[in-house]
Amino acid sequence: RVIRFADETSLPVLAALTDDNRIYALPQRDLMELVREAEELGVSPLALIEKEIAEGAAPVGVPLESLTLLTPLDAPEVWAAGVTYERSRDARNYEATGGKLDVATFYDKVYDAERPEIFFKSTAARTVGPGQDVCLRSDSSWQIPEPELGLVIGRNGNIVGYTAGNDMSCRDIEGENPLYLPQAKMWRRSCSIGPAVRLAETVADPYRFQIACRIYRNGELAVEGTASTGQLKRRFDELVSFLRRDNDIFDGTVLLTGTCIVPPNDFTLQDGDRIEIEISDIGVLSNTARKLVP
C-alpha cells in the first residue's frame, strides 16, 4: 500500500506500507510521480517500491497510528458512479417515491441500462483525508455517508490502485428532484479518500473486497453495515471506459464505484458523528462529521 503523511514541518511524505505494517519513506513526491517513473523504467510500481526499499529507503520509526496521515494522493478530480448496487437502487427509489417501492423510476432504468450513472463528485480542494472532518450541509436534514471503493486511475485509464472513499450525500435534496444531484453531492469537504492506495498489481480479485461502515455517536456504535464488491452490478473497466468516453482524465483521478451500504431510512448524520469505512486490504478511513461553520 502507499500512504502519505505530514512530516514535522507539515510537508507531505510518500511512503510504502507493507502488510506487516512496516513503513518506508519513498523519494518520490507523490504516487503518480512514482507510477510515471516506473513507466519510464519499464517496471511496475511495486517493483520500483521494492527497488527503493532494497536500495535503502528510510524506514519510518514510528507506528502508523502516530502518523498524521494525508489523502494518499491529491486527486485532481473525483468522479462517482451511482446505482451500481441493488441496495443503492432501492434506497434511491425510497427517497424519490416517498417509500412506494413498487413504483418504477429512473433509478430502476439506470440500474439496468447499458450506460451507468457517472457524476462529478469532487476536486482536490474539497476532498479530505483520514482523520479530517467532513462537513454537513446546513440546508439538509437527511444526510448519510456512502462508503465506496475508489479506483485510482492514470491518464490512460489504467487502474493504478484502490482506495476507500466517502461520497457524502443528502437524501432529501436528491429525493426532492434529481436535477438537484450536484447540490446533494458537492459542497465543502463532502468527500474523503484514504487511508491508503492498494496497488492494483497486488490485488488478485477486486470483486472480493469486503466493505464495512460504522457510525459512532457519542462514542457508541449507532449504525453498522457490511457488503462486498462481489455484489457490484458493473465491471470496473466498464465504469472507467464510460468515464473516459470523449473525456480527458488526469493522472490520479479517483472514480468512486457506488455505495452498497445505506443506513436505515430514519438515520441522519449529526455533528460529531464519527464515520469509519473499512475496506479489506486497504484500511480504515475515519472522519468526523461537522456542521458547516460559515
Residues that bind ligand DO4 (CB under 6 A): 80, 82-83, 88, 92, 117, 146, 167, 174, 258-259
Residue 60 contacts which entry, Mg ion, ligand DO4, none (Cβ below 5-8 A, type-dependent): none
Q: Is the dihedral of CA 265, 269, 274, 278 positive or negative?
A: positive
Residue 251 contacts which entry, Mg ion, ligand DO4, none (Cβ below 5-8 A, type-dependent): none
Distance CA 42, CA 118 (A): 33
Total residues belonging to the chain: 294
Q: Say which DSSP state 247 is in.
A: -
How near is the Cβ of 167 to Mg ion at its closest, in Å? 4
Closer of 62 and 179 to ligand DO4 (Cβ): 179
**28, 132, 229, 259: residue in contact with Mg ion (rule CB under 5 A):** 259
Report 150-179 residues binding Mg ion (CB under 5 A): 167
How near is the Cβ of 181 to ligand DO4 at its closest, in Å? 6
How near is the Cβ of 190 to ligand DO4 at its closest, in Å? 12
- Provide the 10 A C-beta neighbour count for residue 6: 14
- State the angle between helix axes of 31-41 and 45-54 in degrees (0 to 180), rounded to the nearest 10: 90
How near is the Cβ of 256 to Mg ion at its closest, in Å? 6
Residue 194 contacts which entry, ligand DO4, Mg ion, none (Cβ below 5-8 A, type-dependent): none
Residue 35 contacts which entry, ligand DO4, Mg ion, none (Cβ below 5-8 A, type-dependent): none
CA atoms within 13 A on the CB side of 197: 33
Closer of 69 and 184 to ligand DO4 (Cβ): 184
Distance CA 70, CA 131 (A): 8
**Alpha helices of 55-105 — where are they, by DSSP H?**
86-97
The answer to whether residue 192 forms part of the interface with Mg ion (CB under 5 A) is no
Closer of 163 and 259 to Mg ion (Cβ): 259
Q: Say which DSSP state 189 is in.
A: T
Closer of 28 and 169 to ligand DO4 (Cβ): 169
Distance CA 259, CA 91 (A): 10
Query: 174, 152, 127: which is closest to 45 by C-alpha?
Result: 152
CA atoms within 13 A on the CB side of 147: 30
Residue 57 contacts which entry, Mg ion, ligand DO4, none (Cβ below 5-8 A, type-dependent): none
Contact by Cβ (8 Å): 85, 211? no
The answer to whether residue 146 forms part of the interface with Mg ion (CB under 5 A) is yes
How near is the Cβ of 143 to ligand DO4 at its closest, in Å? 13
| Interaction mask 205-244, Mg ion, x per CB under 5 A | ----------------------------------------
Q: Is the dihedral of CA 271, 149, 117, 259 positive or negative?
A: negative
Q: Given the rule CB under 5 A, which residues bind Mg ion?
A: 146, 167, 259
